[in-house]
Structure 1
Amino acid sequence: MQPHTKKLHWLFYILAFIVANVIIFFCVTAQPKFSLRLENQEEFKSVTIHIQTKGILPTKSVTATLANQPLALEKVDRNHYTTTVKDNGTLLVNVTNFNGMQQSRFENIVTIDNAAPTITGEVTKEGVVTLLLDDSQSGINYDGLYGIDGNGHRLLPTSIDHDNEKVVFQYSGGKIDVHAVDNIGNESTTTFYDKDAKNSNIYNPNIEYDIGNVKEQSKDQSAQAYQPTKSND
């Protein structure tokens, strides 16, 4: 073998060794790559999660949890996984390559409306309550808004200001239970009492009310009868 040819053989072996080690290093250390997409469904009821793996190396596993609870993923095709959730929370997606290398990603899901509307207001005078309603996601369903007064009568609002989400009820019987619902069915109820209801048996000292423009709340959490506060004057 000529010296020149022998040198070429050695150079070939060295290059092959380098290439082989580069390939081995890549296979051992390559981390998985993937994309994560959240698709909000109509009416704020659910979110569909799409996971698309993109790495060159084969994927060993794809897992996901929501609020630390495992999710069942459906494999749509070789690289596409999906699932639908109906609760808000912290989403964790973990993809593992066949070499054991992992890649994780967190996302916060906050678009699902599972909270009831907020009702605040005050009794402006006996038999009249002015309310402010709020629902930041699906919105207030004003067709489902009603009240039950102290005599058990079902009442509709006297007036509704849609722009300012302001509602007025007129009622009798010393109190009114206001029922508000949002556009996907979450419902809340708040009770308001007249001034004169303070001395009646229907007054509950464990709930905060607006009574005649004065907000009162019992410090005693037991279900005892209401005791009027004595004035120092």
Structure 2
Amino acid sequence: MKQTRTRRRRKTDSGDLRTVLLFYVLPFIVINSIIFYLFTAKPKVEITVGDTEDYLTTTATVRIRSLFPTKNLVIAKDGEAVNAEKLGSKTYSVPIDSNGVLEVSVQNFNGMSAAEFAHINILDDTAPAITEYTLDDEGVITITLADTQSGVDFESVYAVDSQEDQVFPLSEDRSAGEVKFDMDSHGLTLHARDFTGNEVQVTFTSHKDGDKEVLNSIEGTETSILASEQPEETAAAEPAEEESPEAEATEEDPAEDAENDEI
């Protein structure tokens, strides 16, 4: 009899424990987990920058990953808000016409927020670079141009000599990026653009070193189509005029005047 009662008591205790776990502990854990998720779930932001065909424009696609409605959405580039076209549920298209940083900030209705950044540098805002230049004994200058994005537009390459006459290359090697001109020792200004319109202007001069003509340091400017930058002219600061000792001597000292008046 005692063994039977003990077994029944154990079964009752086991059933009570299961009841507590199933109907109290487990629902408590599940409900609190759901509440915790509702209050702490953050949205996710995905930014995809597309390719460019003309090196002037591209498109970025912004996707918001969240189960909750979006309360606030801010899309900015370099700190300035930009217009975005809504493509679908939480998907936006952003037109890009210059390099920079695209920033997306989003806030859910539960107050949780997230931000994502994308650096855009696939657009061509740099003029062709002059990588090498040499002058041969026959007075012909060879200039090597390079542009790693849209490429050098060799149809735009020309020069202006010291007489303000426009001259064109004697020859071109487009695969090597080389152009040749007759050198003008008093000044030969090269003009070259890439296929997006960025332009470089560089002036070459030379001087006699014995019987040999030697190139001087080059001077030039760049104009970017995307950045709309204008070349700045720099001028050497003129030294300040110093006051001569005679002028200092002619200045009257108020203290000395006061002493003279007392005498």
Q: Quickly name the TM-score band, shorter chain normalised.
A: 0.7 to 0.9
Is 1:186 aligned to residue 198 of structure 2? yes
* Residues 121, 17 of structure 1: alpha-carbon distance in 2 compared, 3 angstrom cutoff: same
- The alpha carbon displacement at 1:33 in A equals 2.0
Is 1:114 aligned to residue 116 of structure 2? no
Is 1:130 aligned to residue 132 of structure 2? no
Q: Corresponding residue for 1:53?
A: 64
Q: Distance in 1 between matches of 2:166 and 2:69?
A: 64
Q: Corresponding residue for 1:85?
A: 96
Is 1:105 aligned to residue 107 of structure 2? no
Most deviating of 125-134 and 34-43: 125-134
Identical aligned residues as a percent? 31
- The alpha carbon displacement at 1:68 in A equals 2.4
Q: Corresponding residue for 2:84?
A: 73
Which runs of 5 or more residues in structure 1 are unaligned? 197-210, 225-233
Q: What are the within-5 Å matches in structure 2 for residues 33-52 of structure 1?
A: 33-52=44-63
The structure that has the greater radius of gyration is 2
Letter in 2 for 1:116: A
State the secondary structure of the residue aligned to 1:132.
strand
* Residues 26, 216 of structure 1: alpha-carbon distance in 2 compared, 3 angstrom cutoff: closer
Q: What are the within-5 Å matches in structure 2 for residues 130-149 of structure 1?
A: 130-149=142-161
- The alpha carbon displacement at 1:10 in A equals 8.9
- Give the structure-2-normalised TM-score: 0.68
Is the 1:126–1:195 Cα contact (8 Å) retained in structure 2?
no
Is 1:24 aligned to residue 35 of structure 2? yes
* Residues 100, 32 of structure 1: alpha-carbon distance in 2 compared, 3 angstrom cutoff: same
- Give the structure-1-normalised TM-score: 0.76
Is the 1:46–1:86 Cα contact (8 Å) retained in structure 2?
yes
Is 1:212 aligned to residue 195 of structure 2? no
- The alpha carbon displacement at 1:161 in A equals 1.6
Is 1:222 aligned to residue 199 of structure 2? no
Q: Distance in 2 between matches of 1:216 and 1:71?
A: 40
Which runs of 5 or more residues in structure 2 are unaligned? 1-14, 220-233, 239-263
Letter in 1 for 2:116: R
State the secondary structure of the residue aligned to 2:160.
strand
- The alpha carbon displacement at 1:34 in A equals 3.1
Is the 1:40–1:46 Cα contact (8 Å) retained in structure 2?
no
Q: Which one has a larger percent helix, Structure 1 or Structure 2?
A: 2
